[in-house]
Amino acid sequence: MESGFHGSDLDSSLKCKLEESGMANTHAIMEKAVNWFRSRSIFVVAYGTGCGAIEMPPTFTSRYDAERMGVVGVATPRQADLIILSGYLAYKTLRRVIRTYEQMQRPKYVITLGSCPINGGMYWDSYNTIKKLDDYIPVDVYVTGCMPRPESVIEGFVLLQERIKNGEKAGWQKYDENLKFYKDNQKRVLGGHIDPSYETDWYNLENGGVA
């Protein structure tokens, strides 16, 4: 079990409590409002995995200005809601991407640019890139094109915002539910060297090292 995973679902317990006290309706309205706020404010960590990295500066700067929709870039995955993977992923990159994704806090979303994360694109027969990204981490929106223009990227943002607003089931929920599937796939391509391996707690070694 990775340390990025916190299994307990607080939402459902809260829902039960609220339903008991007859406030389920209020909860639903609250949830709707929160979803609206979530859709209006998206912090992005832009991971320039491939050629699409060059499309992100125009998307965020003067010409296309993603900030007007509340989409802002941040530096660390801890603060981010959305990770943009822009292009093909080598195995070496995939390891870092998984790590970055697991360090993000829920709710979290993934957008990929280009055709490479969908089916390998022009690198389909390379010994060192992956073909299907959604085997390893769940993808919310694929923006296709080789490479997609900033307009398409913005359209991807709009699509994602719609989904968040409607409260649709997002990738991170699938990831939590089908953790074994994703972990098995990751192990298959990364050869058992998946970081982080934080099973042992260095600070409690005398207690058997159980975290």
Query: Please, which residues bridge with residue 85 across strands?
Result: 47, 112
Residue that the structure tokens 């934080």 belong to: 198
The amino acid at residue 179 is L
3-state secondary structure of 129: strand
Residue that the structure tokens 């060297």 belong to: 193
Report if residue 61 touches another protein, rule: CB under 8 A: yes
Determine the Cα–Cα distance for residues 87 and 207; give it in Å rounded to an integer: 45
Report if residue 168 touches another protein, rule: CB under 8 A: no
Give the x/- contact pattern for another protein in 72-101, rule: CB under 8 A: x-xxxxxx-x---------xx--xxx-xx-
Query: Please, which residues bridge with residue 129 across strands?
Result: 90
Residue that the structure tokens 């870039």 belong to: 73
Cβ distance to another protein smaller for residue 63 or 180: 63
Cβ distance to another protein smaller for residue 54 or 106: 106
Report if residue 181 touches another protein, rule: CB under 8 A: no
CA 46 to chain centre: 11
Which residues sit at the interface with another protein, rule CB under 8 A? 3-4, 6, 8, 10-11, 14, 34, 37-38, 40-41, 43, 61-62, 65, 67-70, 72, 74-79, 81, 91-92, 95-97, 99-100, 103, 105-107, 119-120, 124-128, 130-132, 188-191, 193, 195-196, 198, 201-203, 205-206, 211
